[in-house]
């Protein structure tokens, strides 16, 4: 992460997302809108210990529901002036189409 993305006041994670999740999504959406390039690293290694309590269908469905809500709030905050409602509707119909297949 480039220091210019986290060094200026108000450029880090937005704490208003702390309890609902999505602070990382919001950060990277803002960074992309500011001209940052998001890249993939094939050799990156990520480890994440998942507690057994989270290995249930119910928990996974709840997490995806929360993620969907977070993405909408992030898009609303970042893309406010650029037709985020239209974007949401198009994405929703796309997801419905995926589910129908």
Return the ∠ at Cα 88 (arms to 11 and 55), rounded to 5°: 80
Domain limits of the chain? 3-41+49-92
Averaged pLDDT of the chain: 84
pLDDT of residue 45: 94
Per-residue model confidence as pLDDT tens digits over 3-29: 777 767 677 888 888 888 888 888 888
% pLDDT > 70, the chain: 94
Asked if the model's pLDDT at residue 98 lies above 90, the reply is: no
3-state secondary structure of 29: helix
pLDDT of residue 43: 95
**pTM to 2 decimals?**
0.68
Cα distance between residue 16 and residue 86, in whole Å: 25
**Tokens 């419905």 -> residue:** 96
Q: Average pLDDT in the 66-73 region?
A: 85
CA nearest neighbour of 14 among 30, 32, 3: 30
Residue 81: pLDDT band (50, 70, 90) is low
């Amino acid at each position: 992460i480039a220091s210019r993305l986290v060094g200026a006041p108000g450029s880090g994670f937005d704490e208003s997302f702390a309890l609902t999740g999505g602070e990382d999504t919001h950060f990277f959406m803002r960074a992309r809108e500011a001209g940052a390039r998001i890249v993939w690293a094939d050799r990156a290694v990520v480890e994440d210990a998942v507690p057994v309590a989270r290995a249930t269908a119910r928990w996974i469905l709840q997490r995806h529901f929360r993620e969907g809500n977070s993405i909408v709030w992030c898009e609303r905050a970042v893309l406010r002036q650029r037709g985020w409602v239209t974007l949401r509707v198009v994405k929703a119909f796309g997801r419905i189409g995926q589910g129908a297949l």
